Amino acid sequence: MNYNVSKAKGEVRNMEGQKTLYTTPEAAEALGISASHMRKLIMTGKAQPDQQIGGTWLFTSDEIERLRNRKRTRGVSKKTT
């Protein structure tokens, strides 16, 4: 389910001039991760939803693309100095 809201920020817009927003499960699916992991990214500040309507976080396609291209780290860095 896509939510469309009118807000000028330069994001992708549908034919009515409204930007298309995606729910947490939709964004997670686009990224190939679980919705619970997506919520963890929100809580840790790594994902930045555009807005929240009720209890539903909404993401722009730009934010989904940013998350898709982010540098991923796992565990503690093993660099030696």
Q: What is the pLDDT along the chain (81 residues), one digit of tens a residue?
A: 555 544 433 344 555 666 789 999 999 999 999 999 999 999 999 999 999 988 899 999 999 999 999 877 666 666 655
Question: Is the sign of the CA dihedral 80, 46, 69, 36 positive or negative?
Answer: positive
pLDDT score recorded for residue 80? 59
Q: Is residue 20 part of a domain?
A: yes
Q: Is residue 32 part of a domain?
A: yes
d(CA 21, CA 5): 8
Range of the domain at 56: 2-68
Q: Is residue 27 part of a domain?
A: yes
Q: Is residue 78 part of a domain?
A: no
Q: Is residue 22 part of a domain?
A: yes
d(CA 23, CA 52): 9
Total number of domains in the chain = 1
pLDDT score recorded for residue 67? 94
- Asked if residues 74 and 24 have their Cβ atoms less than 8 Å apart, the reply is no
